Amino acid sequence: MPALSTDAPELSELPPVETPTPPVPTRCLSQTVVIPWRARYMNQLLRRQPTVQLALLRSLEDRSRSDELVYGMTTRPPLERVSRLFTHLADIAGVPDPSISRHTVITGPSQKDMAAALQLSTSTVENAIRTLR
Helix, strand, coil in percent for the chain, rounding step 5: 55, 5, 45
Q: What is the pLDDT of residues 13-46, one digit of tens each?
A: 556 566 667 777 777 777 788 888 888 898 898 9
> What does the pLDDT look like over 38-86, one tens digit per residue?
888 988 989 999 999 999 999 999 989 988 888 888 899 999 999 999 9
Query: Does the reported pTM lie above 0.95?
Result: no
